[in-house]
Amino acid sequence: MADEGNIISDLNLDAAPNGEDTAPAIGLISQYVKDLSVENPNAPESYQWTEQPEMHIDFNIGARSLAEDVHEIELKINATSKTSQGTAFAVELVYAALIGMRNVPDEQAHPFLFAEGPRLIFPFARRIISDAVRDAGYPPLMLEPIDFNGLYFAQLQQRQQEELAAGAGQA
């Protein structure tokens, strides 16, 4: 006959009451095109231009809380191709994702929302930009990978230096 006292020693007495899950969790709920604009203002003449176009790529990252455990990340990308003859094309994309976060401290949530989350959705935004440029009649635009984590920490360091300089100026 088994010793019933061993059953109690096998229970996890450190678990939260009522089976509550208090472990940190992050998950991608959904991703979607929020806004897409493709301008091809000088077609079909621009297809004949021989001058090498100058590309301008700008991006911006935004995040906002929609509910206690749900956040939206927005990755905004503007790609413009210009020559001395005018604009060949301009593509503006706002690609977004819903992120579920539970029990994640702010010092970990912020880097995820502004660095890791954009890194995860960038390949999908990149494909949309490439397809939009191709559909406008130009060779597909293949954006280079972006080091979102490196940019995040560089921007954080710059902000800290600016705050130190502002604090030293007030002393």
Domain boundaries, the chain: 22-141
Per-residue pLDDT of 16-32, as tens digits, reads 556 567 888 999 999 99
pLDDT digits (tens, 9 = 90+) for 45-97: 999 999 999 999 999 999 999 999 999 999 999 999 999 999 999 999 999 99
Confidence at residue 9, expressed as pLDDT on a 0 to 100 scale:
40
Read off the pLDDT band of 5 (50, 70, 90).
very low
Specify the long-range contacts of residues 138-141, CB closer than 8 Å, at least 24 apart. 138/47, 138/81, 138/88, 138/89, 141/55, 141/79, 141/81, 141/91
Condensed to tens digits (0 to 9), the pLDDT of residues 118-155 reads 999 999 999 999 999 999 999 999 999 999 999 999 99
CATH number for 22-141: choose from 3.40.50.300, 1.10.3720.10, 3.20.20.70, 3.10.420.10. 3.10.420.10
Residue (of 68, 77, 124) closest to 99 by Cα position: 68
Closest CA to 152 of 32, 36, 61, 46: 61
